[in-house]
Chain A
Amino acid sequence: MKIPPRARVLAGAAAVALLVAAPFGLKPYGIYLLSLWAVMTIAAIGLNLTLGYAGQISLAQAAFVGIGAYTAALLTTQGWPLWAAFVLATALSFVIGWLLGYPALRVQHHYLAFVTLSFTTLVFLILRNEEWLTKGVYGITGIPRPNVLGWSTQMPVDFYFFCLGVLALVSAATWWLIRSPWGRAFTALRENPIRASSLGVDTRRYTLMAFAIGSALGGIAGVLYAPLVQFIEPTAFALGLSFSLLLMVIVGGAGYFLGPFLGAAVSVLLPEWLRFTEGLYLILYALFVMVLVAVCPSGLIGLAERLRRPAAIATPEPAPPDDGTGSS
């Protein structure tokens, strides 16, 4: 991107200011949507690490969001503070992600999609059937909103700022990660796995790391989701959410830092904008995705880039998981 740095900083500051000011002009419903956007963005950032940077198709993100949400719900309804849930859920998601990734990443990409798909459905079944732990199909109600350093987040605006704060922390951490030597190794992995390994990059280890960190972020998103909705049940964390998150990352632009922000915004806000079409908005969304993927597979941000620099050499698109000619 060749926008002058000062303009970029100004644009960034304007966006942040907008996010901070927005809730004051909105009714509780609008504030709720913004909070939901923040939570989904965190999950999408995680998936973006796995998919956009490390190039792995994962359909397991919904399961990690579910693990995070149930951890938070079970702990907080027993009186534990939310930060305990954050710690436990992050650790749990990271470890499970690592354990899942260890064997799963040995297989080729299209197989990984199916393995992660199975994992999500299995987790759903466990959440639904193990009633003694999760209350099964009845779900867990009455999830309280946390007290953050003495400040209650019960009101919609307060909780929104809490979500925004967590999103800011996650974004900063991810930014640092991508700029670090680790992050540069991820990018090398994505662009050319063979060359990367010939240069001594331990492909397996880095991919596994990306997968585990991405899963941990899914868990964090889940911990926020539970007190946001204040009621959780298993079907919210089934395959549908995994597909949703995948579409978010792709629509926004896989492999771009701002991709998840944009993708989550489209996914959460589009039903609102298309409300006048009554039942058609899902059809329109699906059509939109199909056209976008055909025209510009690097998502909306990729499209924006292309429009900004039509004559210059295009920024390399995040390489598709295989070598692109369609042969396996």
Chain B
Amino acid sequence: MADFLQLLVAGLATGGIYALAAIGFVLLWQTSQTINFAQGEFVMVPAFFVLAAMKLGGVSFPAAMLIGLVVSLLVLGLLFKRLVVDPVLRHGVLPLVISTIALAIFLKEAVKEFYAADAQPFPAAWATTNLAIGSAVVSAQNLVIIAVAVVAVGLLQYFLNATRTGRRMQATAQNPGLARILGIPVEHMILYTFLINAALVALASFLVSPIYLAKFTNGETLGLVAFVAAIVGGFNQVRGAIVGGLLLGVIDNFVAAYLSAQYRAAIPLFLLIVVILVRPQGLVGRAEERTV
């Protein structure tokens, strides 16, 4: 049925966006026990770095993207780690949760105050053509997003499993104390994680902002979906983010079309509760052993 195909393809496309947002979230948690409640805002902000560079600096779009990427790495990677996470993490997980909640508010309001409250159009990095798949129509942008998400995860998995640095990062995640004893520069490993997350969210931002339009409230929905996608897919596996994201995108569309539009937001939440209670490691994740 044509409708079914259209919904499926659209769902996968939106799911790809969710997946990109979830990947970095999972990565941060996996390697440095950071639950970043500001992840949605992290995906919202880099687009504004680019817009600001173009508006205030008058640079061209490609140059602005580069500037945006560098600034993201600095602010959302390095500064985030040094100024927000490090001072707080030694007090435990809860204070860090609080801190990232406050950080989300800060980023949101700062963009609203210092840039603009209304939605801004964001240029796409490539042509916005539409393709026909059977009787369904999907935009090239959406396909690119899915492709990029999958490639990013593939590269990440390769990096984590097949390179020396990657394996060191995994060791750090599993047991920082032991890693330190083994001579792994733990601090550096954790820093790399933050930088990778910053790069991922910047990438996500550049990909989704042409469709979402850049607005300070974008982080709210994206953040929530990222958490749900990460947990449903599997909090301790980066692959889980992809599975969770795609699944959520598809389910959302089918629920809205065939069940109830008013409650479409409820299904992911139900799914979250069910997964946490029945299979906390997520659909794809490995069962975590309790440390105590």
Contact = CB atoms under 8 A, between A and B. Distances in A.
| A–B in direct contact per CB < 8 Å | yes
Interface of A: 57, 103-104, 106-111, 113-115, 117-119, 121-122, 125, 128-129, 194, 243, 246-247, 250, 279-280, 282-283, 285-287, 289-290, 293-295, 297, 317, 319-328
Interface residues of B, number: 47
A326 B35 CA distance: 11
Interface of B: 32-33, 35, 84, 87-95, 97-99, 101-103, 105-106, 109-110, 112-113, 175-177, 224, 227-228, 231, 262-263, 265-266, 269-270, 272-273, 276-277, 280, 288, 290-292
Contacts of A290: 84, 99, 102-103, 106
A289 to B, nearest CB: 4
B102 A328 contact: no
A287 B106 CA distance: 7
Given A125-B265, A297-B92, A327-B175, A286 B102 contact: yes
B101 A321 contact: no
A283 B110 contact: yes
Nearest to A124: B265
B33 A280 contact: no
A285 B92 CA distance: 22
Interface centre among B94, B99, B106, B112 (most CB of A within 10 A): B94
Contacts of B231: 111, 114
Contacts of B290: 328
B280 A107 contact: yes
Q: What does DSSP make chain B's interface, helix, strand, loop or mixed? A: helix
Contact of A326 (B93, B112, B266, B292): B93
A282 B109 contact: yes
Instruction: Enumerate the 5 nearest inter-chain pairs by beta-carbon distance, A residue then B residue, closest first.
Output: A320-B92, A286-B106, A294-B87, A118-B269, A289-B102
Contact of B101 (A121, A247, A283, A320): A247
A100 B92 CA distance: 25
Nearest to A295: B87
A118 B273 contact: yes
Nearest to A317: B91
B88 A297 contact: yes
Interface centre among A250, A285, A294 (most CB of B within 10 A): A294
Contacts of A115: 272-273, 276-277
Contacts of A113: 35, 97
A286 B94 contact: no
B95 to A, nearest CB: 4
B33 A328 contact: yes
Given A114-B231, A283-B113, A326-B176, A57 B102 contact: no
B92 A322 contact: yes
B271 to A, nearest CB: 9
Interface centre among B89, B105, B288 (most CB of A within 10 A): B105
